[in-house]
Structures are given as structure tokens and as C-alpha cells.
A and B are shown apart, each in its own frame.
Chain A
């Protein structure tokens, strides 16, 4: 090591990450000093952190792709866009969760601190440009999530879910790490730029590389919850407190998309032919199992878990095309999914109250009579998840399908739409319960004002983006240029 030149990294590019890290520690400390009655201070500080991070990310955005920390950290438009959406989604998650947690004596600093560390993990995943950084971000996120699921420690369901999540999640991390180590073995580098450069030059398709791709894809499939690596998803979604389910089901999906992009597309883009076949199988299996098993569910959190699996299948369709068009379509899809997932789980929380979870399908019976407005919001969300116009879910499906057809995979598009017809059935069942059945439970629905406003805005955004999706689709295209 004769050439020891230490270059000072450009910390400015990672300023949002540094800010969130500092603030998470500040919130952790501050929470010790605010009493039980002033816990709302913790909540407000967490929200302020997210706002601050958003301001920093937008303010530091240059539109150029820049690297720092020796090439292991990247700052580009895709990263910035995804990060801003992560802040936004997390802020809404915190907002929806406040009342839910308070009623259940779970309104503690830990939820918010872990949530912020999770956000930090996601930011690192989004901006990572080395296998090791990706892994660091992923573990920071995962550990926060394991702890959040277990937050309700007296609940048997939550503890069991946390245990399953932890064991299976660790297994998946292990797989991912094993795959990465194989790439390190062949290419001699953990840096995505260098790995990708090596793969572009070498034409001998090493068997170790093929194994490496398999392990990396398996690890990613675990984290995304694609079939056959989906077993943890329904149990965790069901067992965790709804506020945590809401968190797991939305923002980390955006980060997972970023991770797939960084690893498979930017890193292993030259092995496209190898991972495309695997993704096709994962996508078809996910759409099939997700949509069909969802029909049999009587718990809405489980049903939405299987619906998530089906949506992940659709997301993979865009990525596996291997075209820029497909990537931007998938990005659009995942952002739209996060918005719909927020609304869907948010509605479960809106209907719940002390001692009542509102997570069975029957709890939606006759919602149109109890509250026509929220029934309408839920109707929009269900229509959107089913991919029926005019809702943004339709455009998301359209984007992915047109990318597939452009990549000459029309047969896959036909398979995808046929599964979405099956999927329409269980979304319609919710509409049926809300509109056609008589309510069993007639207690009034009185959510807090902020919840009411944001929930309405959430639903209407799905509708408004359905009428005018241009801005968001153009943003996704620009982000991947």
C-alpha cells in the first residue's frame, strides 16, 4: 500500500442522511425528558425531522449524478425523488399512527425513533453504490422494523410476527450477503461501478457469477416479499400493530425498489439475461399466489398483505423488461402503490378504536351508511388497487403493461391482466361489504381532524392523479434519465 492518498469525502452530498441521524439521536434523548403527557413533542420533532430532511434533499438537488465516500455513495435524481417520497410517506404514517398508538398505550418515543432510524436505513439503501453500503442500509432498516413489530410486547401475535420476521429476514440478509461475496470473489470489488465495469468487459460467463445472481435475486425477493419467498409477509402484516404494518407496507417498498435498481440494474445490468428469467417466474408466481390466496382471507390486513405480494409481482414485470421505459414504469408503480397502501391500511386505523381493531372484513360492512364519505374514499382506493380507471392505479398498470409490450413480451402482459381480473374480485368484495350490506356495528366514526383531512387528501390524491397523472409519470421518466 504505497499509494496512500486519503481523499476527504464530500459530506455535503450525504447531508440529509447526517441530519436524520443526528435528529434521530436528539429525538431519542429528548424523549427521555418529555413526560408521558407531552409525548406529542416527540411526535412533532419526528415530523420536523422529516420536513427538514425533505428541505435538505430538495435544496441540495443538482440534477447531476455525483459520487462520494470513495464511490460507495451516490447522489442522483432517482435517489432524491425516492427519498422525498419516503419522507412524505413516513410523515403520513406517523400522522395516521398517532391516535392509534395513543389509544393503545403504544404512543412511545421508541416508535418514532425506530421509525426515523428506519428512514435513515432506507435513505442509505437508496443512495448506496457499493454492496456493503446497500447491506448496511438494509440491516439498519430491517433491525428497526423487527423492533417495531415487537413493540407491542404483551401481544402474542405481535411477538410471534416479530420472531418470524427476524428469523426469515436474517436468512434473506444472509442469502444476499452470500451472493454479494461471490461477486466479490469474481470481480475483486464491492463497488457497484467497478463490478459493473468488470461485467461489461469480461465475456466469460463464470458459473460463480450465475450462482451469485441467484443468491442476490433470492435475497431481494425475500425483502420484496415475492413468491415463493413471501411466507413472512401475511404473518407479519397480520401480527404487527396496524401502525407498524402501515409503515412496513409502504415506505420500505420504495427503498426496496431502489435496492433492486442499484443492485440488479446498475450493478448486474450485464447479467440481465440471467436475472430476467428468474424475475419472470417470481412475477408470475407472485401475481398468481397473491391474487388467488387473497380471496380466501377474512382479515383485511392479511388480504392487503397478499395484495401487496401481487403488486410486487407487477412491479417486477417493469424491472424485468430491462429497458429504461420499464424502470420508470416500475418506479411510477411503486410510488403509486405506496400511496394506495397508505390509504388502505390508514382506513383500517381510521375505523379502529380502543379495544377494536377493525381488521376483519366484516368490520367494513355498511360503511356507506355509517360514513358515505369514507366509504367513497375506500371505494377509490379499492378501484385503484384493482387497476380500474379513473384512478392512478390504472395508469400504474398501464405504464408497466406498455413497457412489457414494448419489450416484446405481450404474452406476459396477457398473463398479468388475467391475474388482475382475479384480483378485482377481492377488492370488489370490500366495495360490496361497504355498499351492499347493512352495518353490524353502528358506533359513530369520529377520527381526529388531522387524520380526517389527510385521509381524505390521500384518497382524493389517488383520484386526482388518476385524472392527471402526467406530472408524476414525467417525474419518474426524468428521474431515470
Chain B
């Protein structure tokens, strides 16, 4: 029934047009909020047929659209999704609705620009996931920095300007190398189509250079240790909505780049250098978790926890080579890759929820310091229940979504190398340590001070947002099958590309 509609274009452009409409609505804050909500919900509804109409039996790109764009450089407006990008698009359109509801009363300054920035960003992020032309990908990827820069810089906290500029320059540095790499591939293949890049045969030296260009671009965005330092600053200074979008979706863009560009385009270099990425991932998992442990600021703690969790994602991606070498079967490697992809979606829900929880407290007390709280459970019982649930998911408790991905990755790690698996499993201890210790200090114990005593429990709007996320976290935790099923064919195809030599 939807086969004739250009659905992908719709979910990209609807929020962008919505953003412009919201900007035009200008000073009337009430109207602006409702318009933004309506546009975000419409986009979410429009993105649903991508799931219902999705054929999980094939790895081919679906809902494909293609039009010439810039003939001189052979650039096409070409879109399409597979089982890897589709869940991420749904995650984006869903999270944006939550973010807009969550900022309903909190943002009082330049409401229309705030809402417009988020809507435009939604369209751009979906564009990144749907683009099949490398230049189109790059345009979405890069332009996204502008609204995010403004969001951090205008509505952020004390050191917002520093954080905004750091965020921008770090990610810009990464992406310009991506541009050079893409242009090099264009020179080789005479096409900007990412799928054509996948079929390209490239020599080893070129593969290694391309690998590093891609790695820098995507590692900055993920972010991987040691290029992660922009993230805590950006998170701490961004408004709650900005943090949620950053953690839930923007970090996934980097990880998505790994599976769309690095693994299929430069498989031999990835195979050769997988130890490097695995080492960087393990440092993120272990060392960054220890850093998270000593944080005083709740947002910083969650930011470091995000880096640690994203380490799991990149670990899962790059374990495939040694598993394949050890077992000589693609099936074993698929577990790690699927685990990493599930972890991406799960982290989207959990980290978003954690930042929203901090936002709820920050709106009331205007502090993010753990020491300014204590005994919140006494005054905000409903909130405390939800926050503890999300904390458990963050620590990877079975039954929550956080468990599924991590478990799959650790399980596959054992097939690769015992020591890698052992180091990776420390996350279960360390993750529990930093999350639960924070929860203990913030939520439990006697009422800490006057501010906490005066706290009001969640209002309906906040309860709706957090409640929805709680349901999803549990649902994905006990029944991840629908998510794993849609990615199955695409993951299988990706693995075949990753293990076949392109030399």
C-alpha cells in the first residue's frame, strides 16, 4: 500500500520542512511546541511502514529511491535501507518525539529555534542512515554539525561555547578525512554509490590508508578512546534534549559508518588491523569505565558510561575476523555483529533515558553534582523506580535491553580469544559499580538536603516519556527477536563482504 510513496524522502524531509514551519511560527511558543510535536509524531508515523513493509528475507536495499543530483560529479540522490539502518531510523524518529515532549516546559528561551534545530537534525540523521550515495551521506553527516553546534552553544550550560566549538572541530576534523577517502574511491570507481564502493577491488596500501581515514572519521563520532574527550564536555554542557540526541543517535552514526564503510569497503585492511580497533575498544570498555567511577557530575558519569558501552559495539564489529579465523564459519561471527547492533539500539534507549532522568532532577534542583542529592527515593518514589530500572539496564542486568547486546558480544568474544572475553566481561562488574554507586548516592539513603526534601515527583509529561522508555527497555530485554530478525539477512551479507578479500 505504501510502495508508491517515496517513504524515505518523506521521513527525511517532513521534519526538515517541519523545522522551517516552526521557525516561521516564531514567537508564539505554545503554537511552536504543538507544531513541533505534530511534525515529530507525523514523522514517526511515516517511519512505521518502513518496519511493517520491510522484507527481512533479503539483504538488498529496500525502499530505494534514485535521482540524479549533480551530474558534473556523478552525484545521485540515492536512498535505501537494509536491516541495519532501518531500526536506527525508527530509533531516531521515536527519540525525537520524546525529546520534544521532554523539552516542553524546560526550554523557555528561543523556543522556535530550539524545536526547529531538533526537527532539522532529525531529518539529517535519518538522511545519514538512508543515504546510499557517499556525497549525499557526507552532506547529511556534515550539515548535522551545524544544528547541534547551535543547540549546545545557545541552550547549553556554563562552558557551552567551549564545548560547542570543541565538538564541532573534533567531528569536522574526522569528517574531512572521510571526504578525501570518498573522493579517492570516486576516482577509482567513477561513481559515488556506496554499493559500488563495496564491489571495488583495492590494493592493500590504499586499503590501509582508507581504513585510517575512515577510522578517524568514525572513531571521533563513536567516540572511541583516545579521541573521546569532546563527548563529556559536549554532554555536560548540552541541554537535556541535546544530550539525549547525542547519546541515543549521534554516537550510533559513527558506529553505523563502521558497518557501512569500513567492514565492506576495506575488509583486508580491517582484518589486518583488527587488533588495533579491538585494543582501542577494550581500553574504552575497561579504562573509561574506571574513569566513570570517579565522576562527581552525573551527566559526565553517563557520558563516560556511553563511551564504555560504545566500546562494546566496536568490539563486536571487529571480533568477526578472529572468530572467522578460529571457526571458519560465518555463523559464529554473526553473533558478535548482531550483538553489537542490538547494543546500539539498546544503548539508544538506556542512555537517552538516563540523560532524561538527570534532566528531570536538574530542572528541579539545578545541579548535576551527585553530592547535591541523596535520598531522592523518599520524595520522588515513582521517578526513583524508573531511574533504578534504567540504571539496571545500564549495568546490563538480565531482563533489560542492556543485557542482550553485551551478552551476545561477550559470548562471541570467547570464540575469538579468552583474554579479550575476560576483559570485556569486566564491564559487567565495572558498569554495575559506577551505575549503582551513583544510584545509591543519589536515590537511596536519608534525604540529603533542603532541595531534595522539596522535590516534587514526576509530572504526567515526564512520566509518559520515561514510562515509554521503560517499557521498551524491558520489551527489548525479554523479547529481542523482532529486532534481531530484521537484521539477520543484512548481517549475513555484511559478514560475507567482510571476510572475502578485495585485493
Contact = CB atoms under 8 A, between A and B. Distances in A.
A167 interface: no
A383 B135 CA distance: 17
Contact of A436 (B135, B142, B161): B161
Given A398-B135, A431-B149, A469-B70, A421 B176 contact: yes
A64 to B, nearest CB: 23
A143 interface: no
Given A388-B146, A428-B149, A395 B70 contact: yes
B168 A436 contact: no
Band of interface residues on B: 20 to 34
B34 interface: no
B149 A401 contact: no
A446 interface: no
B72 A470 contact: yes
A310 B492 CA distance: 47
Given A388-B145, A425-B165, A432 B153 contact: yes
Interface in B135-182: 135, 138-139, 142-143, 145-146, 149-150, 153-154, 160-161, 164-165, 168-169, 172-173, 176-177, 179-180
A287 interface: no
B165 A428 contact: yes
Contacts of B139: 389-390, 394
A389 B142 contact: yes
A424 B169 contact: yes
A470 B70 contact: yes
B90 to A, nearest CB: 25
A152 interface: no
Contacts of A436: 153-154, 160-161, 164
B362 interface: no
A418 B72 contact: no
Given A398-B135, A405-B184, A432-B153, A473 B165 contact: no
Nearest to A420: B176
A436 B113 CA distance: 13
B72 A477 contact: yes
A299 B143 CA distance: 27
A413 B183 contact: yes
A177 interface: no
Interface in B175-233: 176-177, 179-180, 183-184, 186-187
Contact of B169 (A395, A401, A425): A425
B146 A435 contact: no
B380 to A, nearest CB: 33
Given A402-B73, A477-B72, A432 B161 contact: yes
Contacts of A429: 165
Contacts of B176: 417-418, 420-421
Contact of A388 (B135, B142, B184, B187): B142
A425 B162 CA distance: 12
B479 interface: no
A425 B170 CA distance: 11
B326 to A, nearest CB: 36
Interface in A379-427: 379, 383, 388-390, 394-395, 398-399, 401-402, 405-406, 410, 413-414, 417-418, 420-421, 424-425
A473 B187 CA distance: 18
A379 B153 CA distance: 14
A415 B495 CA distance: 34
Contact of A432 (B71, B113, B164, B180): B164
Nearest to B176: A417
Given A390-B143, A428-B149, A470 B69 contact: yes
A417 B138 CA distance: 14
Contacts of A383: 146
Contact of B72 (A379, A413, A420, A474): A474
Contacts of A395: 70
A421 B173 contact: yes
A439 to B, nearest CB: 14
Interface residues of A, number: 34
Contacts of B73: 398-399, 402, 473
A343 to B, nearest CB: 17
B180 A405 contact: yes
Given A424-B168, A425-B165, A414 B173 contact: no
A192 to B, nearest CB: 28
B184 A474 contact: no
Interface string B312-337: 00000000000000000000000000
Nearest to A410: B184
Given A389-B139, A473-B70, A402 B183 contact: yes
A384 to B, nearest CB: 11
Contacts of B168: 424, 428
Contact of A435 (B71, B153, B184): B153
B353 to A, nearest CB: 29
A473 B71 CA distance: 9
A418 B176 CA distance: 7
Given A417-B180, A436-B153, A402 B187 contact: yes
Contacts of A394: 139, 142
Contacts of A473: 70, 72-73
Contacts of B143: 388-390
Nearest to A389: B139
A421 B169 contact: yes
Contacts of A420: 176
B154 A398 contact: no
A257 to B, nearest CB: 18
A389 B184 contact: no
A429 B162 CA distance: 11
A22 to B, nearest CB: 38
Interface in A104-127: none
A280 B118 CA distance: 42
A226 B176 CA distance: 24
A417 B161 contact: no
Contacts of B142: 388-389, 394
Contacts of B149: 428, 431
B164 A417 contact: no
Interface in B455-472: none
A379 to B, nearest CB: 8
A160 B172 CA distance: 39
A420 B135 CA distance: 18
A51 B185 CA distance: 44
Given A394-B142, A401-B180, A473-B70, 15 more contacts: A372-B113, A379-B146, A388-B142, A388-B143, A390-B139, A399-B72, A399-B73, A402-B186, A405-B187, A406-B187, A413-B183, A420-B176, A428-B169, A431-B150, A436-B154
Kindly list the 9 A-B residue pairs having the minimum CB-CB distance in the complex, ordered from nearest.
A417-B176, A473-B72, A389-B139, A436-B153, A421-B173, A405-B183, A402-B183, A405-B187, A389-B143
25 contacts: A388-B146, A390-B143, A394-B142, A395-B70, A398-B179, A398-B183, A401-B183, A402-B186, A406-B187, A414-B177, A417-B176, A421-B169, A421-B173, A424-B168, A424-B172, A428-B168, A432-B153, A436-B161, A436-B164, A470-B69, A470-B70, A473-B70, A473-B72, A473-B73, A477-B72
Interface of A: 372, 379, 383, 388-390, 394-395, 398-399, 401-402, 405-406, 410, 413-414, 417-418, 420-421, 424-425, 428-429, 431-432, 435-436, 469-470, 473-474, 477
Interface of B: 69-73, 113, 135, 138-139, 142-143, 145-146, 149-150, 153-154, 160-161, 164-165, 168-169, 172-173, 176-177, 179-180, 183-184, 186-187
